[in-house]
Amino acid sequence: MHRFAMWLIAAMIVLPFGARADRGQFDLERWYEIMDSVRSRAAASGVSDTVIDSALRGPAFIPSIVKSDKNQAEFKLTLDGYLERTVSSTRIATGRRMRAKYPTLLSRVDAQYGVPPHVMLAFWGMESNYGATKSRHRLIDAFLTLMYDGRRETFFGNQLIALMQIADKNGLDISDIHGSWAGAMGHFQFIPTTLAQYGTDGNGDGRTDIINNVSDAMFSAGNYLNKLGWNKNERIVRRVVLPADFDVSLLDGKTKLTLPQWSAMGIVNPDGSPIPQTEMTAGLVADIAAIDAARSMASSVTGASDTDMAPMPVITAYLTYPNFYRIKKWNNSNWYAIAIANLADELH
């Protein structure tokens, strides 16, 4: 069948989710314009004709990707629920097996980049379940679909050009590179621009392949964390308990005080002992919604004014050290960073 006819049929099929549905049909002209623009940009960036032709040979528009981009689920799990899901006994056990399987590689990454094995394993487990999570989307299709959708056309266009450059440089078959709907790939879920900046050849074969080569993936992730300033001599978080009437506005991780200052506010270790009194600066993070719910429940027990309030449950929080904020440059989520810390502790 003629290529034009194939794309026309595809366009008719995906119409309900097309960003241009208000025009009454899939905008085939725009689709061609995007590919022409990609071809011109790639050529100007030095990408070989072979890679360009392979990338633009019959790409597909994927309706489910547009739907995912428009309807990203709002995060509703409690912190405890999130940790139960992410720092599971299965993930911990698998991480321990991976540590036994790759002792030399993990030691090399530690020696080269100062990122200890238990930390590397925590990121690996969180990002791809140690490589077990398989990505189903061709990244060419994902990026072109998201460019057509238009919400972040420049960003995804930059990702596609970076992917083409990476494939060209490393002799990879770009038509067979798969990732998430949003363009993350490999054992540590790098987007192409991150890979272009931090990708590292871990096994000395002259190329970087973070999807099929664990050594390359590990060295690239270690390099990234090193450049973020990872300090192997500092912990990530410390679990603590707070006074029942603690000001929850301080629990977003943005207020940073010294440990003696936090201690003066009544913060102690879970066993009641004092927290360290060094001058290290830390933030404080907790599940504020859960605290508010617990306070509301305690208040409703008696009907009640503050003076009649039932005893408050213990408030658990996490002191967050500099490495915590380095993790947030990788993934800007307080809960993700806490999960990394907890998983790393389990794998230490």
- Domains, the chain, in order of start with CATH, read 3-70+136-183 (1.10.8.350), 237-320 (no CATH)
If one compares 266 and 23, the residue with the highest pLDDT of the two is 266
pLDDT score at 24: 46
pLDDT digits (tens, 9 = 90+) for 89-141: 999 999 999 999 999 999 999 999 999 999 999 999 999 999 998 888 999 99
pLDDT digits (tens, 9 = 90+) for 200-234: 999 999 999 999 999 999 999 999 999 999 999 99
Angle at 186 between CA 184 and CA 191, to 5 degrees: 30
Average pLDDT estimate for 263-288: 94
pLDDT score at 299: 65
pLDDT score at 41: 97
Q: How many CB atoms lie within 10 A of CB 234?
A: 12
How much is the pTM? Answer: 0.88
If one compares 18 and 313, the residue with the highest pLDDT of the two is 313
Spatial separation of the C-alpha atoms in residues 91 and 95, rounded to whole Å: 6
